[in-house]
Structure 1
Amino acid sequence: MTTATTRRAAASRAAAKQPSVERPGSRRQNEVTRLLPTWLVATVATVLCALVLVPLCYIFLASLNSDIGVARGEFWPSSFSWENYSRIWSSVGLAGGLLNSVVVAGSTAVVSAFLSVATAYVLVRFQFRGRVTILRGLLGLQSVPGTLMLLPVFVLFSSAASYLGVKIIGTQWGLFLTYLTFALPFSTWVMVTYLRGLPRELEEAARIDGASNLGILTKIILPLSWPGIVVSGIFAFLLGWNDVLFASVMTRPETQTAAVALQLFASSTEGGAIPYYGQMMAASLVCAAPVVILYLIFQRYLVGGLTAGGVK
């Protein structure tokens, strides 16, 4: 009994000498690991939020104000009116532009996302000659400015229409091919980074069960790759939604996108006494709403897809 009591006392003294381990997320650990003081973090966060929210609030208030009030520099409208939101559908022609943008940008996002999964799966899981060259080429294509590709793409599509007798310029599917050319390399590189983090043991187990490469791709890779697919799809959607340069050259009035409609409306009102500031602000918010809704819906997938491959 005396020996057991002595051992317990020695163990208690040894435990008392050891430094206490803080629980993850405890207040003391947060204070030690925090690089900046609390007041500085709060100040920086407030400034960053103000840089985003103040212009957004001004645009919303200007959309409810009259054109004269906006021209005077009024931040708070003297009278609130929702007429600008009803006028934009006839003056700007926003309905057709939004429909074309949704069709072209949405199809680009879906096709590039799923094609990038199959391409990245081949580049990551198979060894063949030229594999590293293709990966370096995908990375190098991101450094080429889109303005340098405008004339070559236009000449290529014009020549194809002359030789094949198929009209490309001025159509929705011609603009879709243009956006797919720029969206597919980026989407493929995103999926290559994501698939490198998936364990190979799942595929090996499926091969033991007799699954083919196509079966592994559709039944294992696709269900596990939704965060990466969403990230690549959203970036491809933004490419087609925000583009003005290619859309202004590759479309006609029936197929112009919302970005081109806004540009034409802004340029057409510059010669007047007072531009339609209220309608331009309202149209800008309406065009930005689908992107914001898209981010809110797929927010949880975006976090997982953007951070994939960062930790091994």
Structure 2
Amino acid sequence: MSAVTASRTKRTPAGSRSADVTRLLPKPLLVVILVVLMVFVLVPVVYILFASVNSDIAVANGAFLPTEFTLANYSKIWTTVALGRGLANSVVVAGSVAVVCAFLAVATAYVLVRFQFRGRLTFLRALLALQSIPGTLLLLPVFVLFSSAASYTGVQIIGTRWGLFITYLTFALPFSTWVMVTYLRGLPRELEEAARIDGASSWRILTRIVVPLSWPGIVVSGIFAFLLGWNDVLFSSIMTNPESRTAAVALQVFGATQEGGALPVYGQMMAAALVCAVPVVVLYLIFQRYLVGGLTAGGVK
């Protein structure tokens, strides 16, 4: 009996069995689907790249390939629209939201996962319920709340970068906390119990054990918070002024100012779009290995 089992094990190695389980489609069909998806993704990106080095007249005429190669669009965007100031505001606001949100989320998730107290399940359910509320419905309440706070306290909130920071932190923190709750549930309790036996406090356990082991989840929650602040147009267009507007609003204003012109500067718009996309691409390339581990953590128990 053992010989038969051993022979069957040799005939079906673990690698082939795992490949058969994970492969849901035949390999030729999988290759075709991947190629089609890559075409759908890459063709718009290639068109934007070609248009950014093409003349405005050629882009307006619908030319796909550049008729003349020029980098003048990349030098003109800094004077046509205040893109540099918008990029600086976006980096400051979105970056600070990402850092603060990630570390608040890991601390909150640690309390929710490792401690039992009244209202814990209600708080977890509330985190999920908050994700179902569209941000459009909260735009007017947030604006009225900040306006009322400014009239009562005399501190201006609307039109400042820190007011935008508070707004983005409010919307990013529930999702980031739930990501960290899912991640911390997969961490072994034995390490924390051993540290507690040695006399470590909860704060020391959090900073010396939980945080170093939770970097993939922290990076995921931070990047999602960064993207919320970087891509948002709705709140930043209402709660900012020309001095504090972000890159997304600068692009929106750039496009709106060209609608009534005789010749829209499509080349500059494409160049500005690529410049605004560079920080996000660089962020993904730097933290790619953390993203894979953080997104898949907690998926298999």
Shared fold, TM over 0.5? yes
Equivalent residue for 1:7?
A: none
Work out the CA distance in 2 between the residues paired with 1:90 and 1:98: 14
Equivalent residue for 2:25?
A: 36
Query: Is 2:260 the counterpart of 1:271?
Result: yes
Equivalent residue for 2:219?
A: 230
Query: Is 2:59 the counterpart of 1:70?
Result: yes
Paired letter, 1:305: G
SS at match of 2:147: helix
Equivalent residue for 2:282?
A: 293
Query: Is 2:85 the counterpart of 1:96?
Result: yes
Equivalent of 2:107 in 103, 108, 118: 118
Query: Is 2:13 the counterpart of 1:23?
Result: yes
Report the TM-score when normalising by structure 1: 0.93
Work out the CA distance in 1 between the residues paired with 2:300 and 2:192: 21
Structure 1 residue 16: Cα displacement: 8.7
Report the TM-score when normalising by structure 2: 0.96
Paired letter, 1:70: V
Equivalences for residues 195-234 of structure 1 within 5 A: 195-234=184-223
**CA pair 270-119 structure 1, distance change in 2 beyond 3 A:** same
Structure 1 residue 24: Cα displacement: 2.7
- 1:34-69 CA-partner distances (Å, limit 9, x unpaired): 332221011000000111111100000000111110
Q: Compute the RMSD of aligned alpha carbons.
A: 1.7
- 1:207-266 CA-partner distances (Å, limit 9, x unpaired): 000000100000000000100000000000000000001001110000000000000010
Work out the CA distance in 2 between the residues paired with 1:281 and 1:11: 67
CA contact (8 A) 1:175 1:247 kept: yes
**CA pair 206-252 structure 1, distance change in 2 beyond 3 A:** same
State the percentage of identical aligned residues: 73
Structure 1 residue 310: Cα displacement: 1.0
Equivalent of 2:160 in 168, 171, 175: 171
Q: Which has the larger radius of gyration?
A: 1
Work out the CA distance in 2 between the residues paired with 1:101 and 1:219: 32
**CA pair 210-276 structure 1, distance change in 2 beyond 3 A:** same
SS at match of 2:25: coil
Paired letter, 2:61: R
